[in-house]
Amino acid sequence: MNPLHHDKSPVAILAVGGTGAAVLDNLAVSCEGEHRTVCVDTDALALRGTVAQKKILVAPERVHGMGTGGEPELLEGTTLEDGDGLNPILEGIRTALVVLSTAGGTGSALGPSLVRRLKKQGCEVVVLAVTPFSFEGNRRKDRSMHCLAELRKSADVVLTFSCDRLIETSLAKDLKEAQRAMDKAIARTIHGLVHVMQKDGLQHLGAAELKEAVGPGADAIGFLENAWAGVAEASGEGREEAVIEAVVEDIMLEDGKAWKHGNRILVSVITGPETSLNDFHEILEKLRAKLPVDLPISAGAAIHPEKSETLSMTL
């Protein structure tokens, strides 16, 4: 059995709060294959509706399963760092991808303590953090900055995705649709990372390579967005050219900030068993020729037995 499909896969995706749960749901809908998923929430109804394999309801005695309504103060003093209840669920995780909103109630309140717990048990931890729109006000911005600072103290890597980017895309006329696009982009990013962070990939890409790209978490500054993602998939003849063109022109990259502010490109490729290491390097050369800027590329690749004649790329 492919370790990616096993309940005890060493690479796990942990969602904290409603934003994280929405990303998990997009992962199930838009990405093929099974993943080891855990959702932590304070909202019992939302938790029942999520697709996560393992579901953890936190602080029922504090918020009675009703969620926080975006108010982390309701969880003051609550932590996931201690206690034995999570041990069976977190057992065997070697690499954790933690996704949350830094301005939400549950995500900002519990995310940092979950990261500390994972680090204590020896995990590599990559956080995918969503920051709020500027128009949401200073209170949520301050909360987000505090959460990011706490996450960066412990996590190996913190990838920060800003909601403000959505305002500058062609999706801005429909912010609900734009938010879904953001959730889908993060889900596809996670999907790509899970595959290439497996030790048995064609070319491994780990936390060290991510850290090299974005810098040590604790050194990051304030509210700085440091991650942009484009995703694409194509099949059949000409799939390499098609997927490269689509990923470079992805709607989440159209504001141009990635090319202006980025310092390194990380590429995850998922392809069929017919692909050799030489083929993979040729794909990267074709990608480099299409990029609007000349940046160093770090890349990983995974073979999927059911992806014959198909190429997926996350940039």
Global pTM? 0.89
What pLDDT sits at residue 125? 95
Report which of residues 82 and 50 the model is more confident about. Answer: 50
**Residue of 60, 151, 41 whose CA lies nearest to 105:** 41
Interatomic CA distance for residues 59 and 55, integer angstroms = 13
Distance CA 118, CA 240 (A): 38
Per-domain boundaries in the chain: 3-219, 231-314
- Maximum average pLDDT range among 81-90, 169-178, 278-287: 278-287
The structure tokens listed for 41 are 């929430």
Average pLDDT over residues 105-109: 95
Q: Which residues make Cβ contacts (< 8 Å) with residue 177, sequence separation at least 6?
A: 171
Architecture, CATH, for domain 231-314:
2-Layer Sandwich (3.30)
Residues for the chain: how many in total?
315
- For 199, the token pair is 């030790």
Segment 82-89 mean pLDDT: 86
d(CA 14, CA 206): 17
- Give dist(CA 99, CA 272) in Å, integer: 28
What are the pLDDT digits (tens) for 217-235? 444 556 667 888 888 999 9
- Domain 3-219 fold is Rossmann fold (3.40.50)
Q: What is the pLDDT of residue 33?
A: 67
Q: Round to whole Å and give the CA distance between 160 and 171.
A: 20
CA gyration radius, the chain: 19
Q: Which residues contact 166 (CB under 8 A, 6 or more apart)?
A: 133, 172, 175, 178, 179, 181, 182
Tens digits of per-residue pLDDT, 236-266? 999 999 999 999 998 888 878 888 888 888 8
